[in-house]
Amino acid sequence: MTSNPLAPSWLAVPSDANALAPRVWSHNSLRDLSGELVIGGVSASAIAAQFGTPVYVVDEADARSRARGIRLSFDREFARVGGRAKVYYAGKAFLSIEVARWMNEAGLNIDVASGGELAVALAAGVDPAHLGLHGNNKSPAEIDRAVSIGIGAIVIDSEIEIARVAAAAAHHGRRQSVRLRINSGVHASTHEYLATAREDQKFGIPLVDAAALVALIRAEPALEFLGLHSHIGSQIFESSGFAEAARRLLALHAELLADGPVPELNLGGGFGIAYTSVDEPLSIDEIAARFADIVSEGAAELGIPVPVVAIEPGRSIIGPSTTTLYTVGTIKDVLVAGTAVRKYVSVDGGMSDNIRPSLYRAEYSVRLANRSSTAPAELVRIAGKHCESGDIVVHADYLPGDVASGDLVGVPATGAYGWAMASNYNYLGRPPVVAVVDGLARIIVRGETEEDLLRRDAGVRVGSAKGAQS
């Protein structure tokens, strides 16, 4: 079959529209002998029958393996250069009590960015000393709670927070470890909304102001300066941005050593993953080796010891582990510009369970999940059911042309910022999150029903929600 002229230039017609690209799907995703998608030993149709659709399906063994793997890679590579690494899981990507436990059991610390995320980590039994609190506008209540429980580190994001954290620490009789987030000015190669270290930015302190703020931190008896923090963005495929950010922060790190200890350097996260068959992110082993070389060589040039380096992966751990299953509803062929046909395949979810394609035109892949097919591949656009023309789940991919109403489709790599950014738009309940492992499936986050949504509406009178679905 020839390519559809409406297809993006990067998207080739697949030789097999049933094949699962290994980089994109979780490690324990495959097709069984009947051609059905099986994840963690559980078939797509069995998952849909038990939990309904849409449903986020987390390959538990895959998520745990990625967490352990990134810790072991960074431990090994920094030991090679005479240093040490600390790995924090970036909870903002997706955090539930079960996931927090998995990360804790894999030996990772956890970053949280709100009081709610902090509550989840504590409910999972994570030692507060293994937590870090982020955020450009942490409330006094969030700061006070974090200090009161003995959180391991708080990231200072603006000058006003120095006094707030110091006051909370003094009130609770603690000496609070803090990092100072630096806006390095490095422009990461990613979407504008995912780049977090440009000059016109809400995050961090400009490099030129950093030394003065570190002096203010050191002047507070209730604060302990742990080191600098940098995060240049997300979904980054190359290492040059990290290298430049590390170079700039190491120079400042060396300068600050003249007036006191600077035990750590946090270089953040943002490692990219494959969402489509053409994406080629660096492997974790490659990333760890490059980080270790960048930091050790930079430290040697400056004549300083290799600091303890902290990193904050989130997407690269949980993203590839998760697939969202949908049920196909309507299908229509749309003639575009009178020359080519785009097949719109609408599903029972959309921007309420994955806002990323609408928010910054993120690309995803799709495959039939309940069966395989020998029908010729056709270009499809997977659309959601919401009242927005921008409600698209997959902008472009190929499916067998006999895709039909009632089929299940799977969209892989939805673990990061799917459930975490989900909404109740059009009054849809957020889908459940199901973990699969060794042929067993269990809910780790319950889905929402209409009854759940109505329960929050203060206008509901007794008995008026009788007809709501449960």
| Catalytic residue IDs | 387
Helices (H) and strands (E) in the chain, counts: 12, 21
Closest CA to 186 of 303, 294, 56, 73: 294
User: In three state form, how does the secondary structure of 289-356 look?
Assistant: HHHHHHHHHHHHHHCCCCCEEEECCCHHHHCCCEEEEEEEEEEEEEEECCCEEEEEEEECCCCCCCCH
Encoded tokens for 208: 């030129």
CA distances from 342 to 112, 345, 386, 453 (A): 42, 10, 19, 36
Paired with 110 in beta bridges are: 89, 131
C-alpha torsion 133→231→280→293, nearest 10: -110
Q: Rounded to the nearest 5°, which phi and psi values hold at 417?
A: 65, 20
Kind and range of the H or E run holding 145: helix 140-148
In angstroms, the Cα distances linking 272 to 93, 263, 345, 399, 461 are 13, 28, 28, 25, 48
Whole-angstrom Cα distance, residue 469 to residue 345?
Answer: 26
| Cβ count near 224 (within 10 Å) | 17
Report d(CA 327, CA 408) in Å as an integer. 5
Sign of the four-CA dihedral 310, 322, 455, 346: positive
d(CA 379, CA 403): 11
Closest CA to 413 of 235, 255, 242: 235
